[in-house]
Chain A
């Protein structure tokens, strides 16, 4: 993007009134909204690199993190994003509170709603949980991962990382590799990257690619060398180890042999290839450390940094919308 880091005013000018109350799915967004969010996030990246990172854009707002599934990095990322914007942040983790004691998701929502939060960040093991919550509360709901459905802020931070690395996303060849079947990251990324005119391919054993994925306007490959051939971005997905013990794939060693990203396979990709992974990585299973730690190809650290900025952009935009509602 532009040369000098933008100042606060410039970033604020990029704030636009987000037309939606919730941030639930990449498919809810349109191209203009995504580009606006990316521009805004870009500004926050620069601000985040300054010594004084604290803003007051969300001053007085309450951000509630509601994580039914454990997640260190996503929760920390949202917490940091909220705090840097000046919001009060509360972390609710059902395991350590009364809301695990037999209360239904809707009861929990109603209870929390009564506390008047402004922004509710939800992660849940069931697809559609964030959407269900959003129907029962008065605040903005942000989906931080619902089952095997979507993880839209991850897609936004991935798009931001790619755009900053390549300048533009349109026309890039992106291979999403591994356990697409169970991946909410993959579903959000497919939707958002295609919206931004990238060329998306899916690579993995047939047992880990959804049966109807060929209807998603993606090319599907079961041979990784062919799948990542001449690709600009190779996005690896995390594969849960227990799925690799004969259930979805025969063994970790076989998975790595055919679908693990190592130097040898990566050589088939484009010369300017960048490697991504949403984390946490299974080193030596889906990705070789040699590739993951090579900063000349790996965007994995960037993704974490972009995560905070992308989430700041989402929180700011939703908050601006709440302002208009008043």
Chain B
């Protein structure tokens, strides 16, 4: 481990959702691990070989954990490699990423899991964990090697964008995964209502002449999923809930005590269907952007804790896949590098308290996946982000680190800048 000298950050504003602390603080890092945390600006007398960094009141938070990231590796490296994604993550204050299994080949057996982990070790930037496929080839027919992938280091299983249509298959996946304590992430989308859709059904899509999916497609599938969770007792991760009607179902499920964790994407919190404007394909997403009412409901659900985890849904798509007529363009947006600044908008707008926002990308995903990171505590890995809360930033997609530049935030002005990112005490990014 290239941790080098002990390092201390003093005079910081620590926000640590795991312990509920937001206030002045200092942190000492030795051997890649958090050795001491003080709830005051300094750590007292330190040995002279400690490198001390005066944070000058800047924000010091646990490194972000993004549990839904796509790269192009293996199989589509021109879009994004593990390395370019890791660099984008480091620049965005994201210290742990969970990559999706719908690669080429599909990550549905342990040797592909092993490949990803080996590549991540060689790159040595941020922590990279794989999510394994729930079914062979992500085809929704036959279970993948969930147990062997779990042993190989997979954190959860999912078929990524593809819902598992066959309820019998999904039931078996849930029961089987439960025996290994592996959560199952599933996209709530009725496949028949969603087929061919490029936008959400409503006045906007009608006026623009876009094939559209009604919002209830999400609710229909979520209701089935919740019923199967009740039957099997498995831990379900709702992969991006984006509509008000599905949130009602989620709330009923959680009120019944079902083991469900819901995620949403930063994009669905930040944009609505009107942002598509004149067929801006950078705003073509899967699930599609929703109405403003839905967006407001999703923000409220994050504020109330109904949605516990926010993901970037990082999905690189190069220009050749995006510069197409809207309904032919590839869906998806890059988001690793802009995640923190985009999140902080809800703090600056006084919509969601800072500590609750930070929780959705640190302690909450860490608890869901059983990671020791995501907290500023003695003994935890020194995955940290030093950020300025108020510095204005202007997002220029062309300047993003990702190989693909498909950011819907292009041209947006946000507040909040990553100053330094540490993984296991190593500085992997410095502004």
Contact = CB atoms under 8 A, between A and B. Distances in A.
B126 to A, nearest CB: 30
Contacts of B231: 211
Interface residues of B, number: 17
Given A257-B148, A258-B147, A249 B176 contact: yes
A233 B32 CA distance: 49
A254 B143 CA distance: 11
A248 interface: yes
The winner among A205, A250, A253, A257 for most chain B CB atoms within 10 A is A250
A206 interface: yes
Nearest to A245: B142
Contact of A206 (B141, B145, B148, B179): B179
B232 A206 contact: yes
A247 interface: yes
Nearest to B108: A250
Contacts of A254: 145-148
A250 B179 contact: no
A253 B147 CA distance: 11
A14 interface: no
A206 B142 contact: no
A246 interface: yes
A156 to B, nearest CB: 32
A70 B405 CA distance: 63
A61 interface: no
B270 interface: no
Nearest to A221: B179
A250 B175 contact: no
Q: Which of A245, A249, A254 has the most CB of B within 10 A?
A: A254
A251 interface: yes
B135 interface: yes
Contacts of A205: 175-176, 179
B143 A247 contact: yes
A250 B147 contact: yes
Contacts of A206: 175-176, 178-179, 232
B28 interface: no
Contacts of A257: 147-148
Contacts of B178: 206, 222
Interface string A123-136: 00000000000000
A111 interface: no
Secondary structure of the B contact surface, majority rule = helix
A271 interface: no
Contacts of B15: none
Interface in A235-249: 245-249
A223 interface: yes
A27 interface: no
A222 B147 CA distance: 12
Interface string B283-315: 000000000000000000000000000000000
Contacts of B141: 246
Contacts, number: 47
B232 A250 contact: no
**In terms of DSSP, what is the predominant structure of the interface of chain A?**
loop
B231 to A, nearest CB: 8
A272 B179 CA distance: 29
Contact of B144 (A222, A223, A246, A247): A246
Contacts of A222: 178-179
A116 interface: no
A175 B146 CA distance: 24
Interface in A253-292: 253-254, 257-258
Contact of A251 (B135, B145, B179, B232): B145
B249 interface: no
B147 to A, nearest CB: 5
Nearest to A209: B175
B172 interface: yes
Contacts of B135: 246
Contacts of A30: none
B136 interface: yes
Contacts of B145: 250-251, 253-254
Nearest to B144: A250
A259 to B, nearest CB: 9
Contacts of A249: 143, 176
A246 B147 contact: no
Nearest to A211: B231
B88 to A, nearest CB: 33
Contacts of A223: 179
A250 to B, nearest CB: 4
A248 B147 CA distance: 13
Given A206-B232, A254-B145, A258-B147, A248 B172 contact: yes
A223 B181 CA distance: 11
Given A248-B172, A250-B176, 20 more contacts: A205-B175, A206-B178, A206-B232, A207-B172, A207-B176, A222-B179, A245-B142, A246-B136, A246-B142, A246-B143, A246-B144, A247-B142, A247-B143, A249-B176, A250-B136, A250-B144, A250-B146, A250-B148, A251-B145, A253-B145
8 contacts: A205-B179, A206-B176, A206-B178, A211-B231, A250-B144, A250-B147, A253-B148, A254-B147
